[in-house]
Amino acid sequence: MKRLAYNLFVSLGLAAAAPVLAPRLAQKRFRRLAKVRLGLGSGWLPPKQEKGGIWVHALSVGEVASALPLLKALGEAFPGRPLIMSVATDQGHSVAKKALGADSEVLLLVRPLDLPWAVDRLIDRIDPGLFCLVEGDIWPNWQWSLAARGVPRMLVNGRVSPRTFKGYRRFAPLARGMLNGFDRILLQTRVDYERMAQVGVRPKRLKVGGNLKFDTAPKILTQGEKQTLAREMGLLGRQVLVAGSTHPGEEGPCLKAFARLKKDHSELALILAPRDVNTGPVVFEQASQLGLKSVQASLNNSDAAADVVILDVLGRLAAAYALAEAAFVGGSWQSLGGHNLLEPASQGVPVAYGPHTYNFLEMAKQLTKAGGGVRVKDSDELAAFWGDILANPQKAHDMGRRARRFCLDHQGAVRRAVLEAGALLREKDGIHPDPSHKEPDLQSGEGYGR
């Protein structure tokens, strides 16, 4: 009855949205994706797959970055099983396709909406032996359809933000029903574990597995690679600060902090990478109003005399952090939860972030405790932190070393997920583990550590 009522509601919602969807189907540029998302026709369906494959789903670009190392590790651990990867957005599909390469044997597809006719047909084509969801994108029909076919399900890199926790508690019966459908839920931190338990998810399903992003932290750039990158940006031989993944309302304070320091450090440069790359012209104007000379990376120009390089292109920020004496990670001066602290930390760069880091709550706490990062509440505190780093090379070296060590010490989430995947596959096949073999205790940890 639950499924019937839910699908009736979904069908009514789809009918109500028809006036919006119909014009999209009529436009060629939207038609392909719309037909996939709505499960129309059969051209979007993949060929029938060999039974028992491992299916990994990632919502969009951020989740794809976490999922790819896991997908690779699963392929290495279970070489006889087909690999399937699905995403929920066209952009996520593009990123995954580029990362996997043209010769990849992984079946890559965009997952349709939670419509029963689409869900059932796709699952029948894939016929998976294990479904692994990375972080989120949980829908009832997917759970019901996979359960009806006896497919074990695992949620990896699970996170329960304050906002999500509030929603789970408000709709507790629905949340419990969907979450208890997973055979294993590996949470990023102990805080996430406790929030899941409070919602009413059965403890036997819950474990702390750590954060996959630690295992995806970029490798440290060599000195030669740094020099090449600096030359490309017109920054060779200069001291550099980086403000990454900033949002409107954060670029201005970062530019002001930099402008204050520029007075005493004539060769200092700032790389500012807005989260929305389309805001490059706006940031350019803000810098001009402060008397700062800027260049936009999207225009493919560089100027050795520029004060600010606006990195308004995708895919270059992680490497750019390696040029920094110190960095700031945005999304944290506003109630947005912050962005990935590991990109600068993994390059051995002292990192600052604002008070709003609930997307990386434990990571920020642990990085601060390790001495690799600091919280700054405003432009003045950021200027003070950056200035202190510039004035004290030994302090900069020590903070950078601690940040890098923090990243290395907290890797291992991919390995834990693969172990759990293996356990689920053995259970499905009716293979009981050797009683003399002791699996690592994931539940007792704090979510980090090897």
pLDDT one-digit tens code per residue, 239-263: 999 999 999 999 999 999 999 999 9
- The Cα diameter of the chain in Å comes to 71
Reply yes or no on whether the pLDDT at 215 is more than 70. Answer: yes
E strands of 135-266, at which residues?
153-158, 184-187, 206-208, 240-246
Model pLDDT, residue 150: 95
Mean per-residue pLDDT, 323-350: 96
With beta carbons less than 8 A apart as the criterion, state whether 127 and 405 touch: no
Model pLDDT, residue 91: 86
With beta carbons less than 8 A apart as the criterion, state whether 439 and 184 touch: no
pLDDT band at residue 10 using 50, 70 and 90 as cut-offs: confident
E strands of 164-290, at which residues?
184-187, 206-208, 240-246, 269-274
Q: Which domains does the chain have, with CATH numbers?
A: 43-217+411-450 (3.40.50.11720), 223-409 (3.40.50.2000)
Mean per-residue pLDDT, 419-442: 69
Q: Which two tokens stand for residue 318?
A: 């992680």
Range ranked top by mean pLDDT from 58-62, 133-137, 323-327, 423-427: 323-327
Q: Kind of pairing, strands 351-353 and 107-110?
A: unpaired
Reply yes or no on whether the pLDDT at 219 is more than 90. Answer: no
Reply yes or no on whether the pLDDT at 379 is more than 60. Answer: yes
What does the angle CA 77 – CA 154 – CA 175 come to, to the nearest 5 degrees? 170
Per-chain mean pLDDT for the chain: 91
With beta carbons less than 8 A apart as the criterion, state whether 348 and 309 touch: no
Model pLDDT, residue 29: 66
63 flagged as catalytic = yes
pLDDT in tens, 163-205: 899 999 999 988 998 999 999 999 999 999 999 999 999 999 9
Model pLDDT, residue 450: 27
pLDDT band at residue 296 using 50, 70 and 90 as cut-offs: very high
pLDDT in tens, 90-131: 889 999 999 999 889 999 999 999 999 999 999 999 999 999
Reply yes or no on whether the pLDDT at 441 is more than 70. Answer: no
Model pLDDT, residue 432: 55
- Rounded-to-integer distance, Cα 65 and Cα 98, Å: 12
Reply yes or no on whether the pLDDT at 444 is more than 70. Answer: no
Query: Which residue out of 63, 250, 251, 343 is catalytically annotated?
Result: 63
- Rounded-to-integer distance, Cα 182 and Cα 207, Å: 12
Model pLDDT, residue 443: 41
pLDDT band at residue 412 using 50, 70 and 90 as cut-offs: very high
Model pLDDT, residue 445: 39
Angle at which helices 251-262 and 280-289 pack, to 10 degrees? Answer: 40
Q: Quote the percentage of the chain above a pLDDT of 90.
A: 74
Nearest CA-CA partner of 320 in 228, 212, 213: 228
Q: Which two tokens stand for residue 96?
A: 């995954």
Supply the DSSP string of 234-286, one letter for each residue. T-TTS-EEEEEEE-TTTHHHHHHHHHHHHTT-TT-EEEEEESSGGGHHHHHHH
Please give the model's pTM, rounded to 2 decimal places: 0.77
Q: Quote the percentage of the chain above a pLDDT of 70.
A: 94
E strands of 144-223, at which residues?
153-158, 184-187, 206-208
Reply yes or no on whether the pLDDT at 439 is more than 90. Answer: no
Residue type present at position 219: K
Model pLDDT, residue 438: 45
Reply yes or no on whether the pLDDT at 158 is more than 60. Answer: yes
Reply yes or no on whether the pLDDT at 1 is more than 60. Answer: yes
